[in-house]
Amino acid sequence: MSTIDLQAVKGTRDFYPDDMRLRTWLFGLWREVAAQYGFEEYDSCVLESEELYIRKAGDEITDQLYNFIDKGGRRVALRPEITPSLARMVMAKGTSLPLPARWFAIAQCFRYENMQRGRKREHFQWNMDVIGLASEAAEAELMAAQCAFLRATGLSLSAQKCEIIIKVSNRQVIQHFLEGLGITGDAFAAVCVIIDKHDKIGRDATIHALAGLGIAADAAGRILAILAVTGLAEATAIVGADNPGISSLTRLMSHLSDFGIAHCARIDLSVIRGLSYYTGCVWEVFDASGSLPRAIAGGGRYDRLIESFGGTPLAMVGFGFGDVVIAEILSERGLIPASVLARGIDDVVYPMSAAEFPVANQLARALRAQGRKVAVDYSERRFKHVVKRAEDDGAKRLLILGVDEVKNRRVTVRQLGKERVENQVALSELGVADPVSP
C-alpha cells in the first residue's frame, strides 16, 4: 500500500498544538486591541470571486493570485487579502450601514508565486479598517492600534527606545506633482508600481521605466529626489506647500502626537505600497533595527476602491498585519511568554486500573464543574510514566485513584513541579457525591 504525502500542501502550514498556542496568543492580542479601539470583527469566506482582484497591471496581488475555475465554471480565488471583500460587503449594505464604521478581521490569505524558497503561500492577516471617515484622525487611530498591539507583545515603543518605525508617505505628493506634468489616472497607478520597485531595480532602470510612460528624464529625476527626502520641510521645498499630500501628512503628524506615537513615525516618500488602489496616505511598519528587510505591517487610504467596483465613492482606510514576520521578531527576541510555550492543563486524574474509571470520571466531572482543566489518564501505565506525561503536559496536580482510595472514598493528590507534596483528600471535599446506598 502506498503511503500518502505527510506534508501539508506546498507553502501551507500545519499548526500543531505548540504552534497553535502562539497563533491563539497573537490573535487574542489583536482582538483585544481592536476591541479597545471600538472595532467590530467581521469575516468573509476565504473563497472569493476572482473579479475582485483583477486590477491594474503590475499590482502585486493580481500577479500572484491563487485562482481557479470551480466545478460550476465560476472564476474564483483563495483571497489574497480581505480588503476587496470588505468593500463588497460595505457596498452590499448600501445606505443602511451607519458611518463611520470601524471593522476588523483576522483573515487567512493566499498567494501563488514560484519565487523564494521557503516563502509561504498562506498567512493570517489582521486587518483594521475605518469606513466613511476622510479625516487623517482615522490613519492616526489605526497606527495607534498597531502600536498598542506591538507594545502589548513586549516590544519597547518609548521615545527613548523605540524598536519599531512607521514609515509614512502620501501618494498625493507625487500624484499632484505628476498632474502638473499631465500624468493622471491609470498612468499614475503605473508610476506607483515602478516607484514601488525602484529600490530593487536601481536608478537607471527606474528612469528607463518612467520614460516608457512618457516621463522625461528631468521629471524622473525630480521624482527620485522626492523619494529620497526624509522630512516634510525638504519635501515641501520640492513640491510646494500647496501640495495636498504635504498638508495631509502635516495633519497626520499632529494627530500622531496626540496619540503619543509621533516619535515612532518618520516621513519616507519612497514608501508607495504594491497595491494599485491606494489614493492617499500609505505606511509601512518596520523593525527599527533593520535586521528584517520585510515590513511587519502596512496600510493606506483607498477612497476610490468602491468607486472602481461600480459603487458610490466612500472614504476608506485600513491596514494589514501578517502573522509571520511579527512571530519571527518576537521569537528572535525571546518575547513569546512562557505561558504560550507551555501547555496549560490543571489536573490529571489517574485511575490505576479500569476498576477505578467510574470514580475517575466522576471526579473529572466535579473538577471541570469547578472550572478546572482536567485530563483523565486511562492508560493504566506505570506510575512514573504517568507522572512524566502529566509534568510534560504542564499539569499542576496529579490525582491518583487506586483500590484503597476508592474504598475509602479518598484521592491521593500530588502537587507536580518542584514540590511533589502528596496528601489525601476526601472525594466529597472535591465535589464527588457519595454513592447512594441501594
Q: Of residues 5-44, which lie at the interface with a copy of itself (CB under 8 A)?
A: 5-10, 12-17, 20-21, 23-24, 35-38, 40-44
Residues 163-222 that bind a copy of itself (CB under 8 A): none
Residues 146-165 that bind a copy of itself (CB under 8 A): 148
Q: Which of 361, 402, 409, 412 binds a copy of itself (CB under 8 A)?
A: 361
Segment interacting with a copy of itself, rule: CB under 8 A, options 133-141, 236-244, 396-404, 419-427: 133-141
Q: Which of 358, 383, 417, 426 binds a copy of itself (CB under 8 A)?
A: 358
Segment interacting with a copy of itself, rule: CB under 8 A, options 66-74, 152-160, 219-227, 263-271: 66-74
What the block records as the C-alpha cell of 155 is 516590544
Peptide bond preceding 17 in cis form (omega within 30 of 0): no
CA distances 189 to 82, 208, 239, 273, 304, Å, are: 21, 17, 19, 11, 12
Residues 255-294 that bind a copy of itself (CB under 8 A): 255, 257-260
- Sorted by sequence, the CB contacts under 8 Å of residue 277 that are 6+ apart come out as 55, 83, 302, 304, 305, 308
Residues 326-355 that bind a copy of itself (CB under 8 A): 343-345, 348, 354
Whichever of 85 and 175 has its CB closer to a copy of itself, that residue is 85
CA distances 376 to 7, 44, 356, 385, 400, Å, are: 31, 39, 11, 14, 10
Q: What angle do CA 362, 364, 368 make, to 5 degrees?
A: 120
Q: How far is the CB of 340 from a copy of itself (least distance, A)?
A: 13
Length of the chain in terms of residues written = 438
Which 3 state secondary structure label does DSSP give 224?
A: helix
- Sorted by sequence, the CB contacts under 8 Å of residue 290 that are 6+ apart come out as none
Interaction of residue 91 with a copy of itself, rule CB under 8 A = yes
Residues 302-331 that bind a copy of itself (CB under 8 A): 308-311
Q: Which of 179, 332, 392, 404 binds a copy of itself (CB under 8 A)?
A: 392
Whichever of 180 and 358 has its CB closer to a copy of itself, that residue is 358
